[in-house]
Structure 1
């Protein structure tokens, strides 16, 4: 054991990408065990590693953590990305849940039939530009508000930059009417740990393709 967290998932984004990004933002190095065969998955089941027979799973600090939100909560609390008090944590939770909803709309795009993709893309743009991004734009209007909570980087910021980048992959002009979010994107993308994760050759995964879907279905 190296002492680094070990991430068990497919070699692709899915529900693990938010975990990868949060670990990277916290400056934590991690290793990955990619699930490529049914036998690997069955071994995890037999070992009792998957509490609910589902992945992703993260092995860290003597635990085998499952359920995406539980994993993210643990990383956030351990690395002081939850704000300074309960009130800030409540705001972080609200911002995270909102961007998670948007990311869910984006994440299913690659699974849809061609005739459904155009309709879902319109839904992504509509919800991003009328429901989710306007909230963040208003928050960032507050004086000295470089991040969603003042000048402190939190989980909410890491989740928001992921949602922005995912949305721009589908609709490059989605931020055209949100100047403060454009500035936020540039600012967060230059935080050293996040900038490193966004560079080619990092553990960041590309958008899902047919191979990723086929592997997940096979496993």
Structure 2
């Protein structure tokens, strides 16, 4: 039996959370080695485990993969979440790249000064409502399927749902003007593997708190 993938990252969402989402969506169990100190990170770096000296890093299939998008692409390709042909792959890639741009704002939010956080929530809402969500609303309306691309779950669906739910934690009304995205969110959330990941006790990480922020600073700040 193949070894479970092992994820190396602090115990929180950050850029690793998308990897957890995708592994969970395809029903792959994984282990985690949480980084809590600068010394743990340096040990990985000194052992030549990190190609560019940074995490996320995932040990999978005898490889040590870094760079979040690369990790996501590998898992998606391996588990048939990356479309049936070049056209579908390219469309999925465009949707994912756009969604990750929005998700990056959410990832960085806990590290802002308190006085800047509320202003950034407004910025996130504006970008989601005016730039990103109209793209997906139109795609779902015109496609006529519950998935963004083709007739099966793809990486684009998983990352979009992750981003929607993270935004709804901060702005519960974010989908009020997007009925197709509302329907999409419900349907994808109820797929068996994803439903399990959304239940209490899964490896889905909670919203970042002060402990997570302190841990990140301890690990990454010299």
Is the TM-score greater than 0.5?
A: yes
Superposition pairs for residues 67-86 of structure 1, below 5 Å?
67-86=67-86
* Pairwise CA distance, 1:143: 5.3
After superposing on structure 2, the runs of 4+ consecutive aligned residues of structure 1 that deviate more than 6 Å are none
Aligned to 1:168: 168
Cα deviation for residue 39 of structure 1 reads: 2.4
After superposition, the C-alpha distances for 1:3-34 in whole angstroms (9 at most, x for unaligned) are: 10000000000000000000100111100000
Query: 1:216: Cα distance to partner?
Result: 1.4
Q: Which residue of 2 aligns with 1:146?
A: 146
Rounded to whole Å, the distance in 1 between the matches of 2:134 and 2:151 is: 20
Do the aligned residues in 1 keep the contact of 2:15 with 2:107 (CA within 8 Å)?
no
CA distance, structure 2, for counterparts of residue 134 and residue 64 of structure 1: 37
In structure 1, the residue matched to 2:24 is 24
CA distance, structure 1, for counterparts of residue 101 and residue 158 of structure 2:
15
Q: Which runs of 5+ in 2 are unaligned?
A: none
Partners of 2:42 and 2:169 in 1: how far apart? Answer: 34
Write the distance in 1 (CA, Å) between the matches of 2:27 and 2:211. Answer: 30
CA contact (8 A) 2:8 2:32 kept: yes
Whether the 8 Å CA contact 1:37–1:218 is kept in 2: the answer is: yes
Shift of 1:218: 1.0
Instruction: State the secondary structure of the residue aligned to 1:142.
Output: helix
Q: Secondary structure at the match of 1:58?
A: strand
Query: Could you tell me the TM-score, scaled by structure 2's length?
Result: 0.95
Aligned match of 2:120: 120
Shift of 1:151: 2.2
Cα distance in 1 for residues equivalent to 2:178 and 2:39? 47
Which residue is equivalent to 1:89? 89
Residue equivalent to 1:53 = 53
User: Which residue in the other structure is 1:157 paired with?
Assistant: 157
The alignment of Structure 1 onto Structure 2 pairs a total of residues equal to 219
Give the conservation status (yes or no) of the 8 Å contact 2:148–2:157.
yes
Partner of 2:106: 106
What are structure 1's unaligned runs of at least 5 residues?
none
The answer to whether the 8 A contact 1:144-1:151 is kept is no
The SS at the match of 1:90 is: helix
Provide the rounded CA distance (Å) in 2 between the counterparts of 1:126 and 1:39. Answer: 40
Q: Tell me by how many angstroms 1:2 deviates.
A: 6.3
